[in-house]
Chains A and B, each alone.
Chain A
Amino acid sequence: MSGIEPGTVLMLLVWGTLAGLDLVSVPQAMLCRPLVAATVAGALLGDVDAGLRVGAVLELFALDVLPVGAVRYPDYGPASVGAAAIAAGAPWELSLGVAVGIGILLATVGGWSLLVLRRLNAIAVQRHTAALRSGESRVIRRLHYAALARDALRSAALTALALGSAGVAVRWLHPTRETAVALTIAAIGAGAASALGGALRGAGAGSRRRWLAVGGAVGTAVGVTVWGLR
């Protein structure tokens, strides 16, 4: 991270901002998913594999949450960009756990920032209640664009925080080899539990639970066959 060109940092900042905007505001095209955000960040950093691995584990965590209605959910987009920046160029067995841990922390901060954004949007709407009651299209447009700009600012700040945290982690966080491996294994186990726990909650007691079990059995068989034989 510390040796990254300023141009690359700028591209990461732009990408993280787009990923942050995508979560709720526009275009909700799933650019914010960790698998996408981290992979693209990895590609920008010249290490797609690091992005894919970090993105895959964070995606397991993200599958636990359904982004429905007014609930507060973590913002994994900018966080995944920061996590990929930690893992890029380092041996993944040693960097994955730290990257995922910091990614989760940043995603949680991102979730809180959404609450602040929604309150600020509400204040802006309250200030223009009279104009909205008189049917001024111009005011609706202005409120909408201002809210989008606010979210862009929030996403950019969150990405800057993520990249700054990545810089600090790469510079200062050097756990022993055993600890780094243990963190990586813990992150993978916790990610798998999160995805399956979320799916179990959503499956209820009907046929979905049966399909979850079938998927789990097929996945275990595939895992043992493909990697158990190597």
Chain B
Amino acid sequence: MNGRMHALLRLLSVQGSWNYERMQGIGMGYAAEPLLDDLRLADPLRHTEAVVRSAEFFNANPYLAGLALGAAARAEYDAVPGEQVARLRTALAGPLGALGDGLFWAGILPATAGLALAAVALGARWWAVLGFLVVFNAFRLITSWWALRTGLEAGMRVGGAISASVVPRAATRTGATAAFAVGLAAPVVSAWLLHPFGARGVSSALLIAAAGLVLARWSGARFTAPRFGLLALGATLLLRLVMA
């Protein structure tokens, strides 16, 4: 089967046509095209059916979507019945979403961003930003390549391949690193930016931060960061106007 590199490149835009109808479906169909090319000559009817299936509804973490893409493509070449291929894609979507979101969005991203923030504050400046981009994208590209390759090799047995890999354990470990990094970054960045304002500035910021944490605890996910930011800035502005 050819077209792995093309498929990997196309996976970079797997969410490019995200919509409420098929979610990542069109993006998956777009990424599957180079993988299914050889099937066009070998079995044109099967190729047409495979193209239809490849663009059906799908949603998972974009960095692990290659597992489903590769596994489905392998299954098409192995002449697995179409309904089973469709069921495989459906069965993979949820777990790949949870696993990838845990690994990247709740793990590697906050971990690398938090460490970069602390490094910026401590004087690394734009080198820290560059380091963040390099480290995050190294993780991301290696994972995407591994995902596509594993999917293509495992086919219908992709579930076992995922369980046997380091990905489920890595998701747990990166979560702890992320928590540490964000915990580290918030006070370091605050101290860096607040020190010119003296004790009064620090105590005012601490008061606002405490209010924010109480609100976050009380209201859960409903009270988002932008809402609290605008509320804090609006209240400050109002207070200044009243005092003037």
Contacts and interface: CB of A to CB of B under 8 A. Distances in A.
Nearest to A62: B225
Nearest to A114: B18
B205 A185 contact: yes
A161 interface: no
Contact of A192 (B61, B63, B190): B190
A186 B236 contact: yes
A189 interface: yes
A30 B226 contact: no
Contacts of A208: 175-176, 178-179
Given A25-B13, A208-B175, A224 B191 contact: yes
A221 B54 CA distance: 53
Where chain A touches its partner, the secondary structure class is helix
* Most-contacted residue by chain B among A25, A181, A207, A219 (CB, 10 A): A219
Interface stretch (A4-12, A118-126, A162-170): A118-126
A211 B172 CA distance: 13
The contact size tier of chain B is 35 or more
Interface string A39-55: 10001000011001101
Given A56-B117, A188-B194, A201 B12 contact: no
Interface in B68-111: 97, 101, 105-106, 109-110
* Most-contacted residue by chain A among B106, B137, B191 (CB, 10 A): B191
B110 A63 contact: yes
A133 B48 CA distance: 9
A2 interface: no
Nearest to A74: B226
Given A61-B226, A189-B190, A211-B179, A196 B213 contact: yes
A146 B97 CA distance: 26
A100 B230 CA distance: 9
A178 B240 contact: yes
Contact of B12 (A26, A57, A212): A26
Contacts of A39: 126, 129
In the A-B complex, the 9 residue pairs with the closest CB atoms? A215-B183, A193-B212, A223-B191, A197-B216, A189-B208, A121-B19, A189-B205, A147-B17, A64-B225
Given A56-B189, A195-B114, 6 more contacts: A28-B12, A56-B193, A108-B226, A190-B208, A222-B122, A227-B192
Interface of B: 12-13, 15-23, 26-27, 29-30, 33, 47-52, 54-55, 59, 61-63, 97, 101, 105-106, 109-110, 113-114, 116-118, 120-122, 125-126, 129, 132-133, 136-137, 140, 175-197, 201, 204-213, 215-217, 220-221, 224-226, 228-230, 232-233, 235-237, 239-240, 244
Interface of A: 24-31, 33, 35-36, 39, 43, 48-49, 52-53, 55-57, 59-70, 74, 93, 96-97, 100-101, 104-105, 107-108, 118-119, 121-122, 124-126, 132-137, 140-141, 143-144, 146-148, 151, 175-176, 178-179, 181-203, 207-209, 211-220, 222-224, 226-228, 230
